[in-house]
Amino acid sequence: MPTLYHGADYNPDQWLDRPDILERDIELMQKAHVNVVSLGIFAWCTLEPEEGRFNLDWMQEIIDRLWAAGISIDLATPSGARPAWLAKKYPEVLRVNADRTRQLFGARHNHCYTSPVYRDKVRTINQTLARRFGRHPGVILWHLSNEYGGECHCPLCQQAFRDWLRERYGDIAALNRAWNTKFWSHEFADFDQIESPAPHGENAMHGLNLDWRRFVSHQTIDFMKWERDSIREIVPEAKVCANMMYMFPGVNYFDMARELDLASWDSYPTWHKPTETLEDTALDTAMMHDLFYSLKGQPFWLMESTPSYTNWQTVSKVKKPGVSLFASLQAIAHGSDSVLYFQWRQSRGASEKFHGAVVSHDGREDNRVFQETVQVGQALCDLARVAGTKKEKQAALVFDWENRWALEDAQGPRNAGMGYKQELLRHYRGLAKNGVTVDLVNGEADLTGYQLVVAPMLYMLREDFAAKLRAFVAEGGTLVVTYWSGVVDESDLCWLGDAPHGLCDVLGLRRCEIDGMYDGETRRCVALDPRLPASAQGSVLCEVAALEGATPLMAYDEDFFAGAPAVAVNAYGKGRAYYVATRFEPAFYAPFYALVCEGVIGDAQLLPDNVLLTCRGPFTFLQNAGETPVTFMGVELPKYGTAVLEDGKRIY
Ligand code: GLA
Ligand code: ZN
């Protein structure tokens, strides 16, 4: 039976002295059509109050009761926060900051992922849980830790970093070449001389910084695998997931997702921010949903969201009536098979006591948030057959963690911020406003099956990916490349020769110069093709290129580079490649992609303001992100309304 899951983080360990509340929880969960909870994410001190003394009976009771009520369990490993006894007895589990100070006990998500003691203690508690509950019919999934991230600079991690480098480079001469260590006389004679980047030490050697980020990502995933494998030793068929975060820089999620059965993420958009329209917020969120779908090319889970407000945004706005349903169905439209919340019941104390939850301090079921949660639950029941359906391959938007690390670390040409995400988002919005299905892919992607590949700011362009892009266009694909592409290799060493490296002939041009723009500074560009906006402002970086066969579609209209191409297209093999020389204002991208998609993506169509269209299997989701009703494709959409069509016929 296809099922869309509805539920929340459930922390009954905070309420063990209130059996009445625990009982009421189940009753309310049933009313809200809850069919899964993530259980015990931060319950370690309750599960193992003293080293080696386990207390699992309360959890057994809860699991049995949930299961009897038809609620499945996504059982957490509790490694996201450690008990005090563990930190006291084994200080090596405490993380060391970049300035080499060791943290004290407290907070969460701050352990050394290398520490053998931490790994051993985590393995013990995980296996204890797996032995007791791993074969319980209610346990359908394992929630590995919580939001893995962060870095540790302790001696154990330094050693692991050196071993990782030795493995990567083989000999120190290769490392010296990759990091260009002759610069400022930083050559290393031995791997033992290497330290992680530090504010009071080395921090501007880009090769070192990049490899450190690679190592941190590797080590985090290695720890996650350790957790996964500790469970699978006991329950080989155990399914595992880990909850990931919005634009999180610290872990290469493409690598992480490969090791998981299911990708999932925690989504907390800033709905109702005065400087954004709801459509802006929705499109920003949509790009993330598409990223988490793309990680495995499979439906993902929305693991956390708030039914009302957070407590950590600058200002915590409540979701206006209808927005919880809008946001939840948007996730489903983009490939989620679940809507879960943080959290089920609002905590009484500590730092998240004012974070929204399905059940608030008043405990009432007649309040708006609870009632709207019931509505979401009902909608997920109505749409159950959407579960498991996949999305068609149309456009691939290249979003590469390594590129991001290198690009954001570079000094110059604009230290005021390069805005990689903003650039990605402009292209994403341009595609989404043409109803195009977008996957986010990295520089290791297989491009077969896509009609269009968009590679914004592909600063780090590895030779093999350049070859893939060339082949893609040669065989008939359409490619979009922007300024600040093909600049460095995988070690962050500048490519020598014509630029953008590996793509000059595909693009039919050559980069000559790059001018940085201050915030607010722009350069006017004018259209040479009537299908594009008559004029648009370039910002951030203005790249000046010399045409070598490409046809200009827009040109700069001021400064010494007036007349140089701002947008160009080139025929290459059976396909064509577009070049965008600067960052335009957001409004440029929808008409630009309307032009790019012509004859490339059959069903692309420019959507009216506030209308969002997303396809998943035979289902088309239409949503109105605006406050006034709209009619589109013959369907009337009220304010924040959603309609779902199955093979063109309305089912919701
Ligand atoms: C994260 C965490 C949760 C909780 C929420 C609050 O996503 O995983 O434990 O702190 O944020 O928004
Ligand atoms: Zn460490």
pLDDT of residue 649: 96
Write the burial class of residue 520 (CB in 10 Å: 0-12 exposed, 13-18 middle, 19+ buried).
exposed
Q: Which of 14, 147, 317 to mutate to test the pocket of ligand 1 (most atoms within 8 A of CB)?
A: 147
Task: Give residue 248's pLDDT band: very low, low, confident or very high (50, 70, 90).
Answer: very high
The 3 state secondary structure assigned to 231-249 is HHHHCCCCCEEEEEECCCC
Rounded CA separation 244/263 (Å): 8
Same domain membership, residue 643 and residue 618: yes
User: Residue 163 falls within a domain, yes or no?
Assistant: no
Residue 457 belongs to a domain: yes
DSSP lists the bridge partners of residue 619 as 616, 646
What amino acid occupies position 491?
Answer: S
Q: Is 147 a catalytic residue?
A: yes
Q: Which ligand is nearest to the CA of 150?
A: 2
577: left (phi over 0), alpha (psi -120 to 50) or beta: beta
pTM higher than the cut 0.85: yes
Within-domain flag for 206: no
Q: State the Cα–Cα distance between residues 162 and 116, nearest whole angstrom.
A: 17
What confidence tens digit (pLDDT) does each residue in 290-346 have? Answer: 999 999 999 999 999 999 999 999 999 999 999 999 999 999 999 999 999 999 999
Residue 606 forms part of a structural domain: no
Of all atoms in ligand 1, which is nearest to the CA of residue 304? 7
Query: In angstroms, what CA-CA distances link 121 with 44, 134, 230, 615, 648?
Result: 11, 18, 11, 45, 54
Q: Report how far ligand 2's centroid is from the alpha carbon of 153 (Å).
A: 5
How far is C-alpha 301 from the geometric centre of its chain's CA atoms? 12
Which residues line ion ligand 2, judged by CB < 5 Å? 112, 114, 152, 154, 156-157
Q: What is the DSSP letter of 317?
A: P
The whole-angstrom separation of Cα 575 and Cα 571 is 6
265 neighbors 243 (Cβ within 8 angstroms): yes
Q: Which ligand is nearest to the CA of 343?
A: 1
Is residue 417 domain-shared with residue 552, that is, in the same domain? yes
- Nearest C-alpha neighbor of 428 from the set 478, 390, 386, 394: 394
Instruction: Convert the pLDDT of each residue in 104-119 to its tens digit.
Output: 999 999 999 999 999 9
Give the range of the structural domain holding residue 642, as residue numbers without chain letter.
Answer: 611-650
Q: What would the pLDDT profile of 331-388 be if each residue is shown by its tens digit?
A: 999 999 999 999 999 999 999 999 999 999 999 999 999 999 999 999 999 999 999 9
Task: Give the tokens for residue 344.
Answer: 């089920």
Answer yes or no: is 627 within a domain: yes
Cis peptide before 19 (omega within 30 of 0): no
* Ligand having the closest approach to the CA of 248: 1
Whether 199 maps to a domain, the answer reads no
State pLDDT tens for residues 125-151: 999 999 999 999 999 999 999 999 999
Average pLDDT score over the chain: 98
Residue 110 C-alpha to ligand 2 middle, in angstroms?
10
Q: Distance from the CA of 113 to the center of ligand 2, in angstroms?
A: 6
Q: Residue 312 has what pLDDT? A: 96
Helices 420-432 and 278-296 pack at an angle, to 10 degrees, of: 100
335 and 443 both lie in a single domain: no
Same domain, 587 and 615: no
Same domain for 436 and 585?
A: yes
Do 318 and 283 belong to one domain? Answer: yes
Mean pLDDT calculated for residue range 56-69: 98
Measured distance CA(555)–CA(579) in Å, rounded: 12
444 an active-site residue?
A: no
* Annotated catalytic residue, options 227, 279, 304, 402: 304
Q: Per-residue pLDDT tens for 463-497?
A: 999 999 999 999 999 999 999 999 999 999 999 99
DSSP state of 103: P
Are residues 587 and 644 both part of a single domain?
no
Q: Is the dihedral of CA 134, 138, 144, 146 positive or negative?
A: negative
Atom 7 (ligand 1) nearest CA: 266
* Per-residue tokens: 279: 């459509």
- Cα(250)–Cα(170) distance, rounded to whole angstroms? 25
Averaged over 214-225, what is the pLDDT? 98
Task: Classify residue 477: in a domain, yes or no.
Answer: yes
Q: Tell me the residue type at 429.
A: R
Which of 386, 418, 449 lies at the terminal end of a domain, its last residue? 386
List ligand 1's pocket residues with C-beta within 6 A. 146-147, 266, 268, 304, 310, 342, 352, 355
Closest CA to 317 of 274, 267, 360, 362: 274
Supply the pLDDT for residue 647.
96
Q: Are residues 141 and 248 in the same domain?
A: yes
Percent of the chain with pLDDT over 90: 100
Distance CA 370, CA 56 (A): 30
Residue 165 lies in a domain: no
Please state the domain count of the chain: 3
> Which atom of ligand 1 approaches the CA of 266 most closely?
7
498 with 534, same domain: the answer is yes
Across 399-463, the runs of DSSP E, i.e. the strands, are: 438-441, 452-455
Is the distance from CB of 505 to CB of 480 less than 8 angstroms?
no
Whether residues 577 and 630 fall in one domain: no
The residue whose CB lies within 8 Å of the most ligand 1 atoms, and thus the one to mutate among 266, 314, 319, is 266
